[in-house]
Amino acid sequence: MTHYQKRLTIQTTGKSFSPITPKVQAVVAESGIDTGLCTVFLRHTSASLIIQENADPDVLKDLSNFFAKLVPEDGKSYIHDAEGPDDMPAHIRTVLTKTSEQIPIAHGRLLLGTWQGIYIWEHRRHSHHREVVVNVMGS
């Protein structure tokens, strides 16, 4: 079994979804692995990694709106506010989603569904450099 790993740095914009599917697929292609598993891991606690609808942008808008209601940034609800009023809500949103995904690989390609894309979901108001580790294993 072969292992291949690469770190990607992604510049996000505040409170947004950054599509990373092509960058992850490029790492899979570089690996030379035909059949296996790709693990994608986001090394942060105030942003998420999600697989979600990639055709209709309204889906991502609805997700943002839902989480804004579910985890408000009112500046009064949380004890932790050392990095600003959006920091603790960002941590909660990350706990409710996830920081890693596993995607099967066949014929050197990610086996995502037709309408699936991989995104970094930035929960903070300002842009950040986010580091993603892509680990590919297989044969």
Task: Go through the domains of the chain in sequence order and give each one's CATH number.
Answer: 2-138 (2.60.120.460)
**What pLDDT, on the 0 to 100 scale, is given for residue 53?**
96
76-88 confidence digits (pLDDT tens): 889 998 899 999 9
**What pLDDT, on the 0 to 100 scale, is given for residue 126?**
96
**What pLDDT, on the 0 to 100 scale, is given for residue 16?**
97
Q: Are 20 and 6 in contact (CB under 8 A)?
A: no
- The number of residues in the chain equals 139
Taking residues 62-68, report their average pLDDT: 97
CA distance 87 to 80: 8
5-23 confidence digits (pLDDT tens): 999 999 999 999 999 999 9
**What pLDDT, on the 0 to 100 scale, is given for residue 60?**
97
Half-sphere exposure of 95 (CA within 13 A, CB side): 8
**Closest residue by Cα to residue 106 from 138, 129, 72:** 138
**pLDDT at residue 25 tops 90:** yes
